[in-house]
Structure 1
Amino acid sequence: MPVPVPHQRTVVLPHQAGPVDDACAPDAQVAGAPGAGAATDRSAPAPEAAAGRNVPATEPLLGEEQVPAERGPVNQGLTLLLIGEDPNSHVPDMWDWAGRKVRLRTARNLTEAERLLTDDVHCILLDLSPAEPADRDPERTGTGDELGTLRKVLRLAPSHAVLVLTYETDAERAAEAVRVGAQDYLFRDELDGAVLSRAVRYAVERKRADLAQRQLTESRMLAQENARLERGLLPTPLLDGSDLRFAACYRPGRSRALLGGDFYDTVRTPDGTVHAMIGDVCGHGPDEAALGVELRIAWRALTFAGLSGDELLATLQKVLEHERSDDEIFATLCTVDISADGHHAGLSLAGHPAPLLARAGLPPQLLPYEFGGPALGLLPNARWPRRQVELGASWSLMMYTDGLIEGRIGKGNQRLGQEGMTELVGRRMAAGLQGEELLDAAVREVRDLNGGELTDDVAVLLLDRR
């Protein structure tokens, strides 16, 4: 059995209820029997416009600066889709905000409705009332097939506003329709142009607000999931049994991010050695942050496997080469392994700034950098010498990424640099600051000197022995 071809008729509709000129009658004609001919849509100037009269403006005009952009260009006017079994179902007359005819598409079933549901449809009117008033049954409970049809319409057009039409005697069913998901309901007994105009406008705006709120809620939930994920990827120091004190400060350069391309970690192996690492993947995006996490986890696994120095860094370079998305991606790294007695340490540098060491009673100083190797990922057969460093009985060792030293001083081009950072931290230490308080104060002063937030990721790690 062939599916009837849905027809589209253009309705000449005054915006407000009241007397209507005969010239306002619909002028669209459908050739042939219902459903047998092609849809016809002939537009003519509104009678008021043709006569040089203004459209009444007691009510805000339907569609005036209210039509969502995704429902088609405003200059094409409004389009309503009526879904109902009665092809002669009467809809009160309306005008759009520009005095043009409001286009009305009619569909007798969901198959026709799906074919007519294009992007320029602003609202769907679903007729839940019987074709003849005599068919109304006051005993109906509102849970029949009509609400099933409404659910199908909502699934078919999740982003469209939906109004339901019914009779006042079916008030319970109308209220249930709103609970199911319709924006509003209208009683056919009381329907006029002004009521329908307001209802359509409010329904469209309410649907737009609902969609915006839903998108906002989904975005917040996604942000919360990402935040939990990023927090889970941040390191937890494993220093059980060590007398060293640990503090860290981490500031991603990406807006609203918790994780950047900088990474650090600290673990204690069964022989009592404390291993610390800090690194920086070039770049500031999520890919760099993910690669930083991979390198940190690989470092921890290799450290527990007994690797250190050149052997460990050479293996990390292989990990980087396999995991990076571009051959130009590289990472700098600084590793320190502190002996169980805490008096000396081994230092390996891979293109990374040297740590800052402050011994008891002495100003902080930078450890030697001359014996370092290149950044990971630059040279295929590179070597990274391990240098022995005497720490003493009481000391503080600060490891950091270049985001801490590349901030500017004032509005000029001068950067803070390692010397400026050393002097800044020395002053804070002389003032008695320690641990996280020292790191927070140092990073805050660097940011103030820069005249605002630092654009690069910043990671700082501090180990103390007192």
Structure 2
Amino acid sequence: MAVPVPRQRDIPATESAQATPPAAPHASPPQASLTLLVIEDDPAGGLTVPEILDADRHRIRLRTARNLTEAARLLTQDVHCILLDLSLDGTGSAAGASGSRTAVATDTAVDQLAILREVLRIAPRHAVLVLTAEADAERAAEAVRVGAQDFLFRDELDGRLLSRAIRYAVERKRADIAQYKLAESKLRAQENARLERGLLPNPLLEGSDLRFAARYRPGRSRALLGGDFYDTVRTPDGTVHAMIGDVCGHGPDEAALGVELRIAWRALTLAGLCGDELLSTLQEVLEVERPCEEIFATLCTVDISPDGRRAGLCLAGHPAPLISRPGRRAQLLPYENSGPALGLLPKARWPRRHVELGGTWSLMLYTDGLIEGRIGEGRERLGQDGMVEMINRHLDCGLSGEGLLEASVTEARRLNGGELTDDVAVVLLSRTEG
């Protein structure tokens, strides 16, 4: 039995009597059913929508609107599909819509699908069906090319056909959205890969016998970079300089500041600065570039002599590196008398400590994200002692280089019971004599 679309009387928009009656107070909410929003302004009452049932034989709820202004008001989250009458008069779509951003031309010579385009703009996540006369099949096909999920001919409209068309349109729209999200995700991954290649450092070690490995994992969900940063370069005299740092905080401003400090460190190092002079200049850069005075950064710098047997170490509030040598347990380098973090004291000094490395060794620089993860469900953290013990276990298993770093970060995450909340950066420099 055909049920006429309710005519508008004293109120501009209504919901059809086919809708499930409102639930009584305190009653259990009814099972959700499909809702169809019909947009038509047929004053002669020629458009009738048959009684339609969903797959569970429940009546599909109907809402009607005479123009786009009313449609936008009725377009709530529970609407699943829109049925647009392509014969909708352009003047009707603007009736009562003072200040509306869309003005649809009344001349049919001007874009006849302007109303459909506006519906697609205000309802980008809803399925849209268009209704037209069979003689206007060409415009119906064009409507699908513009973005509608399907078209129906007015003379062939019946409940079974409309019910099937609604279900098909809703599922097709869901599939389209899923495909769009997948393509967007792939594009974002490609862009992130390009950004990562540009923002993360490319170590400059040509001519050196040192081996380099690094791991970087930002703490912020879906972030490309965090506030941790690192770099390694070899200067013309053969000295290899390495550094790792951590800007306090986890937002995009801190990540940007980390990139600025890394680039500044590389430029100053290649210009010949080292030790206290280098860190003092970096502090000036931080003070100029940081978004607020509370921001500071920790830093560890190492300069390794051309023969690879000695190094200079400067710490600015940063954890001491870990060194491992053949036949000996890995241990932390001495860290007494280190200087404060950059940005805390205006006239701070950072003493450079001399370190004997030996002929064969591995030196690991890391940020505190690696050691501040929890162990199990309690409050205990991994800490530096736990990290040293973990590294020694991996070394006993014969791990080195990339494998050692990957195993260490993976175990820290496992001990934490999931992703580490802080950024993690780890750099490993190794040398084998002979």
TM-score band, normalised by the shorter chain?
0.7 to 0.9
2:47 pairs with one of 91, 105, 122: 91
Aligned amino acid, residue 33 of structure 2: E
Aligned amino acid, residue 333 of structure 1: L
2:34 maps to 66
Contact kept, 8 Å, 2:5 with 2:47, in 1: the verdict is: no
1:433 pairs with one of 390, 399, 408: 399
Aligned amino acid, residue 127 of structure 1: L
SS of residue matched to 2:429: strand
Aligned amino acid, residue 88 of structure 1: A
- CA deviations 1:138-195 (Å, max 9, x no partner) are xxxxxx9679311553146422654333333444443333223222212222224554
1:413 maps to 379
CA-CA distance at 1:361 after TM superposition: 3.4
Contact kept, 8 Å, 1:358 with 1:397, in 2: the verdict is: yes
Aligned amino acid, residue 126 of structure 1: D
Trace 1:42-441 onto structure 2 (pairs within 5 A).
46=17, 65-67=33-35, 79-82=37-40, 87-88=43-44, 90-93=46-49, 102=62, 104-106=64-66, 113-121=67-75, 123-128=82-87, 148-151=111-114, 153-155=116-118, 157-158=120-121, 159=123, 161-192=127-158, 195-196=161-162, 199=165, 203=169, 206-207=172-173, 210-211=176-177, 213-214=179-180, 217-218=183-184, 220-441=186-407
1:464 equivalent in alignment to 2:422? no
- CA deviations 1:26-63 (Å, max 9, x no partner) are 6756xxxxxxxxx655979959999xxxxxxxxxxxx9
Q: Against the structure 1 CA distance between its residues 90 and 371, is the aligned structure 2 distance closer, same or farther, given a 3 Å change threshold?
A: same
Aligned amino acid, residue 455 of structure 1: T
**Residues matched between the structures, number:** 394
C-alpha separation between the residues in 2 aligned to 1:440 and 1:44?
Answer: 59
SS of residue matched to 1:119: helix
Aligned amino acid, residue 237 of structure 2: D
Q: Against the structure 1 CA distance between its residues 175 and 301, is the aligned structure 2 distance closer, same or farther, given a 3 Å change threshold?
A: same
Contact kept, 8 Å, 2:134 with 2:154, in 1: the verdict is: yes
CA-CA distance at 1:306 after TM superposition: 1.2
The two structures have a TM-score, normalised by structure 2, of: 0.77
Q: Flag structure 1 segments of 5+ consecutive residues without an equivalent.
A: 1-16, 30-38, 51-62, 68-77, 107-112, 131-143
- CA deviations 1:366-412 (Å, max 9, x no partner) are 22111210011111111111111122222221111122222334444
Aligned amino acid, residue 46 of structure 2: H
C-alpha separation between the residues in 1 aligned to 2:314 and 2:152?
Answer: 76
Q: Flag structure 2 segments of 5+ consecutive residues without an equivalent.
A: 22-30, 90-106
CA-CA distance at 1:425 after TM superposition: 2.1
SS of residue matched to 1:348: strand
C-alpha separation between the residues in 2 aligned to 1:279 and 1:429?
Answer: 25
Contact kept, 8 Å, 2:275 with 2:350, in 1: the verdict is: yes
Contact kept, 8 Å, 2:228 with 2:425, in 1: the verdict is: yes
SS of residue matched to 1:425: helix
- CA deviations 1:63-110 (Å, max 9, x no partner) are 96334xxxxxxxxxx652226xx743611145699989955444xxxx
SS of residue matched to 1:333: strand
C-alpha separation between the residues in 2 aligned to 1:47 and 1:408?
Answer: 57
C-alpha separation between the residues in 1 aligned to 2:209 and 2:294?
Answer: 41
1:73 maps to none
Contact kept, 8 Å, 1:237 with 1:267, in 2: the verdict is: yes
SS of residue matched to 2:73: coil
Aligned amino acid, residue 92 of structure 1: T
CA-CA distance at 1:278 after TM superposition: 0.7
- CA deviations 1:270-290 (Å, max 9, x no partner) are 111100001111223333222
Contact kept, 8 Å, 1:94 with 1:197, in 2: the verdict is: no
Q: Against the structure 1 CA distance between its residues 345 and 170, is the aligned structure 2 distance closer, same or farther, given a 3 Å change threshold?
A: same
The two structures have a TM-score, normalised by structure 1, of: 0.73
Aligned amino acid, residue 302 of structure 2: V
Q: Against the structure 1 CA distance between its residues 402 and 26, is the aligned structure 2 distance closer, same or farther, given a 3 Å change threshold?
A: closer
Q: Against the structure 1 CA distance between its residues 44 and 264, is the aligned structure 2 distance closer, same or farther, given a 3 Å change threshold?
A: closer
C-alpha separation between the residues in 2 aligned to 1:272 and 1:429?
Answer: 29
C-alpha separation between the residues in 1 aligned to 2:73 and 2:119?
Answer: 13
SS of residue matched to 1:463: strand
SS of residue matched to 1:153: helix
SS of residue matched to 2:232: strand
C-alpha separation between the residues in 2 aligned to 1:228 and 1:49?
Answer: 53
C-alpha separation between the residues in 1 aligned to 2:385 and 2:392?
Answer: 11
Q: Against the structure 1 CA distance between its residues 41 and 311, is the aligned structure 2 distance closer, same or farther, given a 3 Å change threshold?
A: closer
CA-CA distance at 1:441 after TM superposition: 2.6
Alignment root-mean-square deviation, CA: 3.7
Contact kept, 8 Å, 2:14 with 2:64, in 1: the verdict is: no
The worse-fitting range, judged by mean Cα deviation, of 407-416 and 388-397 is: 407-416
CA-CA distance at 1:426 after TM superposition: 2.9
SS of residue matched to 1:423: helix
SS of residue matched to 1:303: helix
| Identical columns (%) | 64
C-alpha separation between the residues in 2 aligned to 1:48 and 1:300?
Answer: 68
SS of residue matched to 1:284: coil
